[in-house]
Amino acid sequence: MYGVINKSLRDMVVEQFGEAKWSEVLQRSGVPDDSFLAMQSYDDDITYSLAQACADEMEIDLSDALRAFGVHWVENTVAKQYETLMRAAGSDMLSFLGNLNNLHDRISSTFLNYRPPSFEIKKDAGEQVEILYLSERVGLTPFVEGLLHGLAARFNQEMAIIEIVPQPVARGEQTLFKLSMG
């Protein structure tokens, strides 16, 4: 993953718990240093190790840590660094989600090693929305759950995740999110 992800994780811990706690997380993770460059690609294991160390240090489940990180990613990192793009991608949650693949496609022309997830959005006539999340990576469903909560907050969208249904898949991860959006 790119350095911007790891930086965001660090920022979340520093903002909420301070530098000392981050030092403990870093030490626990075994990652030798935290001088991440936003546009440099790092081994996925670094991100996973850091996330796991965060969870261990906070004495919470990894999924809880990833959910919190998903919210932080939307509310802080993306909002601060890519606000124009966020605005361009949609003025409401549904249109934003609809543009997300398009946004990731554009990013791919700059970040050549970028392996973005994709999202298929289905909305019925009522308030129910289904989002099928597909990724080459495994274990990031809770992060997406956090992203959805972060987006709902950004767009002042009432939203509840009714059900999270893992889908059988040969490689990577595929999850169906059933949402209720008022």
Partner 1 sequence: MSQSDTFWSELQKLFTVVGQIDSSGRLVRASPLLAAQCRWQAQDDFYFFESFSFKRPTSFDGRYESAREAVGQLFLGFNNELGFAVRGQVVDYSGIGLDGLCFVGVPWLWWMEGNAPDQSLTMASFPVHDVQMDQLFFMSTQQSMVEDLQALNEQLKTAKQDVERSNEARQSFFHHVSHEMRTPLNGVVSSLSLMRDLGLDGKLAEYAGLASRSADRLLEVINFTLESASIESHVSDAEFTDFSLDLLIEECLAIASPLVIERGLELRRSGVQKFARPYRGPVKLLRQILGNLLSNAVKFSQSGTITLGAGINEDNSDEQADIIEFSVADQGPGIPDEALPRLFTPFATGLSAETKNHQGTGLGLAIVQRIVEALGGEITVQTVLGEGSIFQFAIPISHAPDDVQIEVARYPSLASADAYRGRVLLVDDNETNRLLNAKVMESTGLDVTTAGSGQEAYDALAVENNAVDLVFMDLDMPGMDGFEATRRIKALPGAETLPIIALSAHSSARDRQLAEEAGMQGFLTKPLVLEPLRAIYTRYLAHDGATPETDEGSLLAPESPVATEAHHDSSVEGALPEEDAGATMTFDRQPVDRLIHEVGVDILQTLVDKFLTESAERWELLSGSLAAADRESAVREFHTLGSACLTFGITAAGEKFRQCEAAAIEKNLPGDEVLLSIAPLLAEGISQLQLLLSEQRG
**From residue 4 to residue 23, what is the string marking binding to partner 1 with x (rule CB under 8 A)?**
x--x----------------
Q: How far is the CB of 7 from partner 1 (least distance, A)?
A: 7
Q: Residue from 16, 23, 27, 102 that binds partner 1 (CB under 8 A)?
A: 102
Task: Give yes or no for residue 35 binding partner 1 (CB under 8 A).
Answer: yes
Task: Give yes or no for residue 106 binding partner 1 (CB under 8 A).
Answer: yes
Q: How far is the CB of 108 from partner 1 (least distance, A)?
A: 9
Q: Residue from 41, 63, 76, 81 that binds partner 1 (CB under 8 A)?
A: 81
Task: Give yes or no for residue 37 binding partner 1 (CB under 8 A).
Answer: yes
Q: How far is the CB of 153 from partner 1 (least distance, A)?
A: 20
Per residue, what are the HEC states of the chain?
Answer: CEHHHHHHHHHHHHHHHCHHHHHHHHHHHCCCCCCCCCCCECCHHHHHHHHHHHHHHHCCCHHHHHHHHHHHHHHHHHHHHCHHHHHHHCCCHHHHHHHHHHHHHHHHHHCCCCCCCEEEEEECCCCEEEEEEEECCCCCHHHHHHHHHHHHHHCCCCEEEEEEEECCCCCCEEEEEEEEEC
